[in-house]
Copies of this chain bind each other. A is one copy, B any other.
Amino acid sequence: MVFENIQINLLEKCQLDPQWPVVVGVSGGPDSLCLLDVLARLVFPVVVAHLDHGLRPESQDEAKSVREIASRYGLPFVLGQEDVQSYARTKGLSMEEAARAVRYEFLFSQAELHKAQAVAVGHNADDQVETVLMHLLRGAGPSGLGGMEFHSLPNAWSRNIALVRPLLNVWREEIEAYLAARELKPAQDLSNQDVRFYRNRLRHELIPFLESYNPRIKSHMWQTAEILRQENGLLDELVNEAWAACAREQGGAIALRLEAFKSQPLPTQRRLLRRAIAHLRPGLRDVDYAAIQRALDFVESPSRSGQADLITGLLLKREGDRLWLTDREADLPAGDWPQIAPGVELSLEVPGAVDLSGGWRIAAEPVTDIQVALAQAAQNSDPYQAWLDLVRLQLPLKVRARRPGERFRPLGMGGHSLKISDLMINAGMERRRRAGWPLLVSGDGVVWVPGVRVGEKAAIGESSQRLVRLSMYRPPR
């Protein structure tokens, strides 16, 4: 059953041609081993690819095991090695994000090299349900609830090489049973040493809890995702037409023809705005409901100034029949950014707040429920809020601008320190904002650069006992 199911997936859902090479990402865990075994039995021309992330001491042994697996099947093997830590540091990514980016870049570069039709990875049906739940919990909106796709082209890495997931409807249990029946042993069971804390908690705690409400919840969620994904695809086609009818990109900004925009049904308007934001902020993970609602309200009744904040520094501007989404801050009065005059130092109590220019404010609140806050911090996608370990802070905190040449140790850079000005440049902050940009300071060390990075100095950890939540925001006037 599992074999036949995967075979159908490969040919139909993943649209693979059995004559044409496929690069398979093999970690050595059960999923990719099962995938590889089925592909080998079907005599697909497979290239086994493994990336050594260099994050753990045993990673070299893992690479060796995968090389042995490949040679057992008589299949070509390619090994990549990448310093994920320095990649994370350069790109300002979390370790997990960096590992993922590096891995897919490697797999697709190999696919290019081997003229492969696709990169195949081992995500299974349980992974799909977990992904959907994570998106639900994060508030990623309807398109997030669709989860991952069997066949994705174009994708984030290529316009002509597909990313395929032939195990996406195969449950973890079925994979284990398949491996047992085939007498195959994974190189090691990675699932128990999974460092992805949040996903693990989901797998071992939340999903069993949901199953106590309905034992079939996993399959329900899988099916719901499948339908949502298909319906998303259909809506996307509608949005393509609407986009052609009313959007235009021009000089790093998007203009929407208002008459054409307003003639679209509301859900299409929402999706048009999301697409425009995605164009201008390709790295932005979630666009929250409130931002889209602000934009829709602005379309209905523009503010007297004819412009409004959208999200992460993007601006809405109305000009005749055009609605502009732009990040060109040249047009933004300097006073609209949170700024603090160099030399000034404000005290911030916990709880407490300080007012900055442009109606901005930084607030500090002590956290009551620590478990909740840790989960919240782990999920945080808003660079204008941060959680710090209260015990590691010297109170009151100070808010001030940077000092010439001042340095900072951002969290997740292995203790390296950087010049704050360089960090701001790397983060894409415009020159005119940098000198007066507010920093959070404890004692005489910077602990948070709002909008940019949290510092290592007062970062929270699993053992943190008391937390403070900091946020920079502009209350509605």
Residues of A within 8 A of B (CB): 136-139, 141-142, 145, 201-202, 206, 209-217, 219-221, 223-224, 226-228, 230-231, 233-235, 237-238, 265-268, 270, 289, 371-372, 375-376, 379
Given contacts A139-B214, A142-B224, A234-B238, 8 further A-B contacts (CB under 8 A): A137-B210, A137-B214, A138-B220, A139-B216, A201-B213, A230-B267, A231-B235, A234-B268
Q: How far is the CA of A220 from the CA of B135 in the complex (A)?
A: 10
Interface of A, helix, strand, loop or mixed by DSSP: helix
**Nearest-neighbor residue (CB-CB) of A288 within chain B:** B223
**When the two chains form their complex, are residues B266 and A230 in contact, meaning their CB atoms are under 8 A apart?**
yes
| Minimal beta-carbon separation of A364 from chain B (angstroms) | 18
Q: Which of B136, B224, B227 meets A267, CB within 8 Å?
A: B227
Question: Can you name the residue of chain B whose Cβ is closest to the Cβ of A209?
Answer: B209
Q: How far is the CA of A213 from the CA of B219 in the complex (A)?
A: 22
Which B residues are in CB contact (< 8 Å) with A234? Answer: 235, 238, 265, 267-268
Q: Check if A214 sits within 8 Å of B270, measured CB to CB.
A: no
CB distance from A190 to the nearest CB of B (A): 23
Chain B residues with CB under 8 A of A212: 371-372, 375
Can you offer 14 A-B residue contacts whose CB atoms are under 8 A? A136-B220, A136-B221, A136-B224, A139-B219, A139-B220, A142-B227, A209-B209, A213-B379, A215-B375, A216-B376, A227-B270, A230-B270, A233-B265, A233-B267
C-alpha gap A246/B177 in the complex (Å): 44
Residue of B whose beta carbon sits closest to that of A211 = B372
Counting chain B CB atoms within 10 Å of each CB, the highest count among A224, A226, A238 belongs to: A224
**Alpha-carbon distance A214/B221, docked complex (angstroms):** 19
Chain B residue with Cβ nearest A268: B234
Smallest distance from the beta carbon of A216 to chain B beta carbons, Å? Answer: 7
